[in-house]
Amino acid sequence: MKNEMKIGDALVSNPLKPYVIAEIGVNHEGDMALAKRLIREAAEGGAHAAKFQSYKAGKIASKNSPAYWDQSKEPTDSQYKLFQKYDGFGEAEYRELAAYCQEVGIEFMSTPFDLEAVDFLKHLMPAFKIASADITNVPLIRKCAAAGKPLIMSTGAATLAEIEFALQTARNAGAKEIALLHCVLNYPTPEENAQLGMIKVLARTFPDVVIGYSDHVCPDETISALESAMLLGAVVLEKHFTHDKSLPGNDHYHAMNAQDLKRFMTKAETYHRLIASEGKALEKEAAARQHARRSIVAARDLKRGEILTEEMLIAKRPGHGISPIHWDDIVGQRLTQDVEEDALLCWQDFAAE
């Protein structure tokens, strides 16, 4: 195993070049034209993938499944009722959306929530995504892992032991390239509960997989939660995506829109330029090395035969002469010729003692 993965043509390995998934989910609300608009806007914003959610209410939740979201934002009182609102898309619609993604130049993804969805989605997308709530869903993990594609698993509400079990289940079923996304299942997630330090914990605990972040914090101007996650080492970033954050519904009010995404991608590129290399290209500082560093200079007129003391010398710019790194080598040397005040000393000015 290794902590990189290939999603389509993209090598996912560098947190300064994160793979960004615009999680459209069901924010299209069953409208194909709106779904395509969201794909277009995600592509224009710079996302690498536009992701949906493939489910049928009767296969994902019982009729008495309680709400666990902020009901002042989404008043629906059961999961079953909420899923029922937006489960109209089936295989034909997802095939059409996948074709449209290809047309506009963005990867298509959709999270499967039942085994039947896995069967048709595996022909449409470059990687599978397991939602946080399904990290204990052994049959779903096995079927996605057996498809032979990279596997991305969100870890919201999961213990490290549960994450380890999910990883082992996926590997035993054939998954080779795996990403774990830190996630908090609060809708929305308050900033103080984002717990982004878990990105480092996941990286230490599972060093042989890709680490990322799935965000539910309400975005500020440059989506600070994603910025912070990237700087902490998250290589895959996922966030809900909408065309209108003021709309009612569970996944609009904490989503990013195209403008948010563009600002974040611009900021991410700035970080890449600022941080990119762990090395240091000294040739970029050649002028400073030559002109802003200092040389050993005569503090007064010096005469041939004098033995140099510290009081006779001063370190001044530019660095064209003998560097003061050799200060202790120069003190105590005998001059072989006169040196005028403020002149840079040269090695030929001394007789070897």
Q: What's the rounded mean pLDDT across residues 262-272?
A: 96
Considering the domain boundaries, does residue 114 fall inside one?
A: yes
**Number of domains making up the chain:** 2
Distance, first Cα to last Cα, the chain: 62
Residue 353's pLDDT band, with cuts at 50, 70 and 90, is low
Same domain membership, residue 142 and residue 33: yes
Domain CATH for 23: 3.20.20.70
Same domain for 298 and 156: no
Taking the C-alpha atoms of residue 133 and residue 155, their distance in angstroms, rounded to an integer, is: 8
The answer to whether 336 and 320 have CB atoms below 8 angstroms apart is no
Mean pLDDT across 241-259: 92
**Same domain for 271 and 293:** no
For residue 4, being part of any structural domain is answered with no
Which of residues 238, 253, 275 is at a domain's end?
275
252-286 in b/e burial notation, b at 16+ Cβ within 10 A? bbbbbbbebbbbbbebbeebeeeeeeeeeeeeeee
Whether 41 shows a pLDDT value over 80: the answer reads: yes
pLDDT at residue number 75? 83
pLDDT score of 107: 98
Same domain for 109 and 200?
Answer: yes
Q: Give yes or no: residues 134 and 254 share one domain.
A: yes
Mean pLDDT of 104-122: 97
Mean pLDDT across 1-8: 83
Average pLDDT score, the chain: 94
Domain final position from 275, 303, 323: 275
- 183 with 305, same domain? no
State the CATH number of the domain containing residue 322: 3.90.1210.10
- Tell me the pLDDT band of 283, cut-offs 50, 70 and 90: confident
- State mean pLDDT over 265-280: 89
Do 52 and 146 reside in the same domain of the chain?
A: yes
Distance CA 319, CA 203 (A): 45
Predicted confidence at residue 82, as pLDDT, reads 78
Domain assignment present for residue 45? The answer is: yes
**182 lies in the same domain as 220:** yes
Residues 6+ apart with CB under 8 A from 281: none
Is 3 part of any domain?
A: no
What is the model's pLDDT at position 277? 74
Residue 92 covered by a domain? yes
User: What is the average per-residue pLDDT within 123-131?
Assistant: 98
Give the pLDDT of residue 352: 61
pLDDT attached to residue 94: 97
Q: What is the pLDDT of residue 64?
A: 84
Q: Which pLDDT does position 81 carry in this prediction?
A: 83
Give which of 79, 234, 219, 230 is closest to 152, Cα–Cα.
234
Q: Show which of 240, 275, 310 is a domain's final residue.
A: 275
Do both 108 and 227 map to the same domain? yes
Tokens of 20: 């960004």
Clarify whether residues 103 and 130 are in a common domain.
Answer: yes
Residue 1 lies in a domain: no
- Residue 235 and residue 163 in one domain: yes
Q: Is residue 261 assigned to a domain?
A: yes
pLDDT tops 80 at residue 250: no
Q: What is the mean pLDDT of residues 223-239?
A: 97
19 or 86, greater pLDDT: 19
pLDDT at 270 over 80: yes
The secondary structure of the chain in percent helix, strand, coil, rounded to multiples of 5, reads: 35, 20, 45
Do the domain assignments include residue 195?
yes
Look at residue 1 and tell me whether its pLDDT is greater than 50: no
Structure tokens belonging to residue 119: 């069967």
For 183-221, b/e burial (b = at least 16 CB within 10 A) is bbbbbbbeeeebebebbeebbeebeebbbbbbbbbbbee
Q: List the domain range (segments joined by +) for residue 321.
A: 284-351
307 with 163, same domain: the answer is no
pLDDT in tens, 284-321: 899 999 999 999 999 999 999 999 999 999 999 999 99
